[in-house]
Amino acid sequence: MIRIGIAGYGNLGKGVEAAVYNNPDMELVAVFSRRDPSTVKIRTEGVPVVEFSKMADYKDKIDVIVNCGGSATDLPVTTPVIAENFNVIDSFDTHARIPEHFENVNANAKKGNNVAVISVGWDPGMFSLNRLYMNAILPNGNDYTFWGRGVSQGHSDAIRRIDGVVDARQYTVPVESAVQSVRNGENPVLTTRQKHTRECYVVVEDGADKARIENEIKTMPNYFADYDTTVNFISMEELREKHMGIPHGGSVIRSGFTGMDNSTKHTIEYSLKLESNPEFTGSVLAAYARAAYKLNKNGESGCKTVFDIAPAMLMVEDADYLRAHML
């Protein structure tokens, strides 16, 4: 059994807990939290919630820590620290800071003789991986990424910060005609506005100025100004009834050419339809936790990404079985 620890028990931590529960070769040993452990109720029976600061006490009891903190301020600090004592996985998703995070984690993982895998999930993660395979196979071509239909936490939060807003959900929606054009191999040049629309469901305070709020949303730089945005004002009841899920998904498509004159057309598409973004991301993290464990058993150490890990490492079964049954 691979002994797993989860650091952080928000939506993603809960997703990892469920994934560990459903993987027959894994057991959850502890959940680490910065909150008072007595206030954190987890769903796996008999597993303790432990103060984050006491993680090192579990050095010989846990094989892999899945670090479920946020990318902005938490993971850059905690993953390198954890890597000194444990194999560790995170879902660091601030693309521009990946090289820096990699270096910090790599140094400490090597020092501790552990394997760390950063930026695991679906984007970065499975989408990046598929983009890489597509580019390796079809070096001449164009990549397209569409996200959604799904809830963007960042955009929902941005709406909530507007004066007079009580709660909000924002759905990122791919423009269907653009997706179809790409699937048809038309290689369109698409602006930001032509790729996605943004759908907002907003609950406001009694008597709030809806026209002002709608205008503030639609003109918000970076988040909404470059998109066709629709704003729907709804009641808290309707929000609770229809918008409590965290679905997401999307497609990575490469349209490429082969042949001596590069005139033969091919389209490769990888797409996801996810009822729960954190449960799916948690499942990807669990698979890479297995890989980290196996790689470390093979004597490896240091930081890795999904690009550096052979697919067979993600599976319970050995190479003979995989060749005979899955190739």
Write down the residue that tokens 């890479």 correspond to: 288
Interface segment toward a second copy; rule CB under 8 A; list 151-159, 160-168, 214-222, 272-280: 272-280
Q: Is 289 in the site for a second copy (CB under 8 A)?
A: no
Q: Is 211 in the site for a second copy (CB under 8 A)?
A: no
CA distance 125 to 127: 6
State in angstroms the smallest separation of the CB of 118 from a second copy.
Answer: 9
- Mapped onto helix, strand or coil, the DSSP state of residue 30 is strand
- CA 301, chain centre distance (Å): 24
Q: How long, in residues, is the chain?
A: 327
Helical packing angle, 98-112 and 75-85, nearest 10°: 20
* Closer residue to a second copy in complex, CB, 7/309: 309
Q: Is 299 in the site for a second copy (CB under 8 A)?
A: no
The residue count for binding a second copy (CB under 8 A) is 71
* Spatial CA neighbour of 234 closest among 203, 279, 270, 264: 203
Instruction: Name residues whose C-beta falls within 8 Å of residue 234's C-beta, 6 or more positions apart in sequence.
Output: 201, 202, 203
Residues 153-192 binding a second copy (CB under 8 A) are: 183, 185
Q: H-type helices in the chain, by residue range?
A: 11-22, 75-85, 98-112, 126-137, 153-160, 176-183, 192-195, 210-218, 236-242, 277-297, 319-326
State in angstroms the smallest separation of the CB of 204 from a second copy.
Answer: 31
Interface segment toward a second copy; rule CB under 8 A; list 76-84, 170-178, 202-210, 277-285: 277-285
Q: Is 284 in the site for a second copy (CB under 8 A)?
A: yes
Residues 220-239 binding a second copy (CB under 8 A) are: none
Q: Is 260 in the site for a second copy (CB under 8 A)?
A: yes
Q: Is 268 in the site for a second copy (CB under 8 A)?
A: yes
* Closer residue to a second copy in complex, CB, 211/244: 244
Residues 74-103 binding a second copy (CB under 8 A) are: 95, 98-99, 102
Q: Is 312 in the site for a second copy (CB under 8 A)?
A: yes
Q: Is 130 in the site for a second copy (CB under 8 A)?
A: yes
